[in-house]
A and B are shown apart, each in its own frame.
Chain A
Amino acid sequence: MTNPSPLTTISVTPPETAAPALRSDDRLTFPKMIAIPALERRDYAMQTWLFSGVFWMVVAASIGVIEAVKLFYPEFLQGIPALAYGRLRPVHVNLGIFGFMSMGYLGAAFYMVPRLTQTALYSETLGVLTAWGWNLNLMGGVLAILMGLSKGKEYEELPFPFDMMVGILEILIAGNLFSTITVRKESRLYVSLWYILLAIIPFPIYYTLGNVMNFRGIEDAIVNWFYSHNLFGLWLTTLGLATLYYIVPKQLNKPLYSHAISFLGFWTLAAFYPWNGGHHVIWGPVPEWVMTASVTASIAMLIPTIATMVNFGGTAWGTQGVMKRDISYRFSIVAYLSYVGTSLWGSGLAIMDLNAKLHFTSTTIAHVHLGFVGFGLAGLAAFIYFYLERSLKRGYSRKLAEWHFWLTVGGTIGYVVSMGWLGWLEGSEWASGNSVQGVMALRYWYNVARAGSGGLLLIGQLLLVWNIWKTMTSGPSEGLVTGMASDESNTLKEGAAV
Chain B
Amino acid sequence: MMYLLMQPMNEQMAEKASKPMVHGSWFGVGDGTIVVWSLVWVIIPLGLVAIGGLLWAGKTGHFKNIQEIADRQLEIED
Contacts and interface: CB of A to CB of B under 8 A. Distances in A.
Contact of A290 (B12, B35, B43): B35
Interface string A197-222: 00000100110010000111111001
A37 interface: no
A253 B74 contact: yes
B25 to A, nearest CB: 8
Contact of B60 (A2, A12, A144, A149): A2
Centre residue among A219, A263, A285, A290 by max chain B CB count within 10 A: A219
Interface in A216-270: 216-219, 222-223, 226, 246, 249-250, 253-256, 258-260, 263, 267, 270
Contact of B16 (A151, A214, A263): A214
A275 interface: yes
A217 B13 CA distance: 10
Nearest to B8: A160
A256 B50 contact: no
Given A2-B60, A219-B23, A267-B50, A160 B42 contact: no
Of the four ranges (under 10, 10 to 19, 20 to 34, 35 or more), the interface on chain A belongs to: 35 or more
A188 B38 contact: no
B6 A275 contact: no
A283 to B, nearest CB: 15
A223 B16 CA distance: 15
A286 B34 CA distance: 12
A215 B34 contact: yes
B70 A216 contact: no
A146 to B, nearest CB: 12
B27 to A, nearest CB: 12
B2 A144 contact: yes
B42 A256 contact: no
Centre residue among A186, A217, A255 by max chain B CB count within 10 A: A255
A33 interface: no
Contacts of B13: 214, 216
A260 B6 contact: no
B1 to A, nearest CB: 10
B38 to A, nearest CB: 6
B72 A202 contact: no
B69 A189 contact: yes
A274 interface: yes
A214 B12 contact: yes
A214 B9 contact: yes
Given A263-B66, A274-B46, A116 B76 contact: yes
A275 B12 CA distance: 27
B34 A219 contact: yes
A258 B50 CA distance: 21
B73 A390 contact: no
A222 B17 CA distance: 16
Contacts of A149: 2-3, 6
A259 B66 contact: yes
Contact of A217 (B21, B38, B68): B21
B74 A12 contact: no
Contacts of A267: 50, 54
B73 A285 contact: no
Interface stretch (A3-11, A131-139, A416-424): A3-11
A267 B60 CA distance: 18
Contacts of A226: 38, 42
Interface of A: 1-2, 7, 9-12, 115-116, 118, 144, 147, 149, 151, 159-161, 186, 188-191, 202, 205-206, 209, 214-219, 222-223, 226, 246, 249-250, 253-256, 258-260, 263, 267, 270-271, 274-275, 285-287, 290, 390-391
